[in-house]
Chains A and B, each alone.
Chain A
Amino acid sequence: MRKTKFSEANNSLSIGLKSKKIAIPYLIWILIFTILPIFLLMQYAFTNNQGNFTFANIERFFNPLYLGIMWHSIRMATMATVICFFLGYPIAYILSQKAYKDKTILLFLFVVPMWMNFLVRTYAWLFILGFNGVLNNILRFFGFEPIRLLFTDGAVLLGLVYTFLPFMIFPIYSSLQKIDERIIEAARDLGSNRLQLFFRIIFPLSLPGIASALTMVFMPAVATFLISNILGGGQYFLIGNLIEQQFLTVGNRHFGSALALIMFALIILCNVIFSYLSKEEKE
């Protein structure tokens, strides 16, 4: 009661720092660089070249060709997310164990790749998987025929998993870290064995972390352009590539905007669902 009164009191002060007005330049900035672009996207998406209102751009998306691309993107992103989960959860779990006293270095090793340039990390796989790449040269050295590794679904999937694995590890790690040691001791005390302890206590408590980890992997994976462009070689079209093509190659900004808007809506929807799920878990 008293606290709210004080904060009100602070707000009423008109001098310098305590004012809300200091955020006005930023609010204008949001208006121009966050809200206006979304409206422009909508404007483009719902008009044709002559500037007349139309649903044609949205309708065009429902052509099996484009729906197929969308479906392919979602499928690839889902597969990458699932693989990242099964690879990443054990890493997060092991890292959260007390057994490793000085895990700063281990943690650091998993953090570093997150900060390395995406492009360069993807290029590294181009270098390894290429027809004259490192792997094929090893095959040749042992007298095998080189095989087509690059420009396949597998290569794109590998690239996705490789790029986004660290983003799976850390949200889960931090939720595992937060689990109160006493809860685990209590469960032990009540006679849980290791498996029961994990599936009944630890795993449910890490669900909020899992929810945000899944979001952090799925969302950039479904929207990727770079990985599919470099490792898929343009043959394995994902929705990101389609958007890029509409804007820069075909020059149809209207259809491109419709696609971008649909992707934006999809991502916001995912975000809302995931944040709702993780909130549910917390309560």
Chain B
Amino acid sequence: MKLTKWLSLSYLILMISFLYAPIVILIIFSFNDQEFGTIWNGFTLRWYQAVFNDRQVADAVRNTLSIGIIAATTASIMGTLAAIGINNMRKGTKKVVLSLSSLPVATPDIVIGVSLMILYVAFFRLVGAGSFGFGTLLVSHIAFSIPYVILAVLPRFKNMNPFIYEAALDLGAVPFKAFFTAIVPQLMPGIVTGFLLAFTMSIDDFMVSFFTTGSGVSNLSLLIFSMTRRGVNPMVNALSTIMFLSVLILLFIINLRDSQKLKSRGE
């Protein structure tokens, strides 16, 4: 009995090392005082300095964050409204709309990327103007984020009393007010989860961005990709380290929120 427990624990530790060793090595070498090699040559922060002083990096960070926030916000609003509408649909229609909604989730990124690319080409040809850039990037990110919001919001309806909205109307609230005071607060956990999912998907995305961006507009993923093309570069290590830490903090906040929710439900 003890042996199996010991064995399984060591297996877990082995697998965790496999998952984290590359990341740890990457982080260690972001502090390495050497331009091209992977031999330890003393501690330095100059790669971080370089990252913070780099115009391209600054642009990419700005693009990544603004696209992430705008796309996640838009997707949250549209996804929430869509979820409400879908929830009111008849069973058959609901099924069709839901499977169409989950299509982008199942479709490989590369297919989404190229199909959106030819969609924009067709649109530009139709209008006779327009070009790939920030706009196409943003619209694409909204497009692949919405399904995640819908999937996060929809389950919230399951345990909702169907008469809550009417109760608010009954007590004198106009429909608009009833919606925001009685329904939205109950959907909120789902909307927040959807927003965070959409935001993470957006800042994590490479493939769709790769096909739908235009010259000169880059996000962090695209920038790192173009940097790795030129081989190993300690600046990439530093940038990666910063990204790792940001995601870690974000995840930590989400988990903290979840466990607090569990606690408040427990009482």
Q: How far is the CB of B163 from chain A (nearest CB, A)?
A: 9
Q: How far is the CB of B10 from chain A (nearest CB, A)?
A: 10
- Is A208 an interface position by the 8 A CB rule? no
Within the assembled complex, what's the spacing in Å between the Cα atoms of A145 and B97? Answer: 59
With a cutoff of 8 Å between Cβ atoms, the chain B residues found around residue A186 in the complex are none
Contact status B19-A10, CB under 8 Å: no
Within 8 A of B (CB), among A6-36: 6-7, 10-11, 15-27, 29-30, 32-36
Within 8 A of A (CB), among B1-22: 5, 8-9, 11-12, 15-16, 18-20, 22
Contact status B114-A162, CB under 8 Å: no
Q: How far is the CB of B224 from chain A (nearest CB, A)?
A: 5
Contact status B23-A121, CB under 8 Å: yes
Within the assembled complex, what's the spacing in Å between the Cα atoms of A16 and B174? Answer: 10
With a cutoff of 8 Å between Cβ atoms, the chain A residues found around residue B16 in the complex are 109-110
Q: How far is the CB of B88 from chain A (nearest CB, A)?
A: 5
Contact status A127-B162, CB under 8 Å: no
Within the assembled complex, what's the spacing in Å between the Cα atoms of A109 and B9? Answer: 14
Q: Is the interface of B mostly helix, strand, loop or mixed?
A: helix
Q: Which of these binds chain B: A53-61, A170-178, A198-206, A240-248?
A: A240-248
Within 8 A of A (CB), among B70-107: 78-79, 81-82, 84-86, 88-90, 97, 100-101, 103-104, 106-107
Q: Which of A19, A106, A263, A271 contacts B12 (CB 8 A)?
A: A106
User: What residue of chain B has the Cβ atom nearest to residue A194's Cβ?
Assistant: B4
Contact status A20-B200, CB under 8 Å: no
Q: How far is the CB of B130 from chain A (nearest CB, A)?
A: 15
Q: Which of A6, A127, A226, A256 contacts B237 (CB 8 A)?
A: A127
- Is A278 an interface position by the 8 A CB rule? no
Contact status A11-B88, CB under 8 Å: yes
Q: Which of A11, A117, A123 contacts B204 (CB 8 A)?
A: A117
Q: How far is the CB of B5 from chain A (nearest CB, A)?
A: 6
- Is A81 an interface position by the 8 A CB rule? no
Contact status A223-B108, CB under 8 Å: yes
Within the assembled complex, what's the spacing in Å between the Cα atoms of A133 and B109? Answer: 30
Contact status A10-B162, CB under 8 Å: yes
Contact status A27-B110, CB under 8 Å: no
- Is A37 an interface position by the 8 A CB rule? yes
Q: Which of B8, B178, B225 contacts A16 (CB 8 A)?
A: B178
Q: How far is the CB of A66 from chain B (nearest CB, A)?
A: 16
- Is B26 an interface position by the 8 A CB rule? yes
Q: How many residues of B contact A (CB 8 A)?
A: 85
Contact status B19-A120, CB under 8 Å: no
Q: A23-B89, A90-B11, A226-B207 given as contacts; is B118 within 8 A of A268 (CB)?
A: no
- Is A128 an interface position by the 8 A CB rule? yes
Within the assembled complex, what's the spacing in Å between the Cα atoms of A222 and B220? Answer: 25
Q: How far is the CB of A36 from chain B (nearest CB, A)?
A: 6
Q: How far is the CB of B58 from chain A (nearest CB, A)?
A: 18
- Is A144 an interface position by the 8 A CB rule? no
With a cutoff of 8 Å between Cβ atoms, the chain A residues found around residue B8 in the complex are 90, 94, 97, 99
Q: How far is the CB of B253 from chain A (nearest CB, A)?
A: 12
Q: Which of A15, A27, A37 has most chain B Cβ within 10 Å?
A: A37
Contact status B23-A116, CB under 8 Å: yes
Within the assembled complex, what's the spacing in Å between the Cα atoms of A137 and B232? Answer: 14
Q: Which of A23, A95, A133, A225 contacts B85 (CB 8 A)?
A: A23
Contact status B251-A111, CB under 8 Å: yes
- Is B146 an interface position by the 8 A CB rule? yes
With a cutoff of 8 Å between Cβ atoms, the chain A residues found around residue B228 in the complex are 119, 123, 126, 230
Within the assembled complex, what's the spacing in Å between the Cα atoms of A29 and B115? Answer: 15
- Is A273 an interface position by the 8 A CB rule? no
- Is A267 an interface position by the 8 A CB rule? yes
With a cutoff of 8 Å between Cβ atoms, the chain A residues found around residue B48 in the complex are none
24 contacts between A and B (CB under 8 A): A11-B88, A16-B175, A18-B165, A19-B85, A22-B84, A23-B81, A23-B97, A26-B79, A33-B116, A33-B119, A33-B143, A91-B15, A109-B19, A115-B204, A120-B224, A123-B236, A126-B228, A127-B237, A219-B108, A225-B207, A253-B121, A257-B118, A260-B110, A271-B106
Q: Which 3 A-B pairs have the closest CB atoms?
A: A23-B85, A223-B108, A26-B82
Which residues of A are interface residues toward B (Cβ below 8 A)? 6-7, 10-11, 15-27, 29-30, 32-38, 40-41, 44, 87, 90-91, 94-95, 97, 99, 104, 106, 108-113, 115-121, 123-128, 130, 132-134, 137, 162, 165-166, 219-220, 222-223, 225-226, 230, 240, 243-244, 247-248, 253, 256-257, 260, 263-264, 267-268, 271
- Given pairs A127-B38, A267-B111, 12 additional interface contacts (CB within 8 A): A16-B165, A22-B81, A23-B89, A41-B115, A106-B12, A110-B19, A111-B251, A121-B23, A123-B236, A225-B110, A240-B108, A264-B111
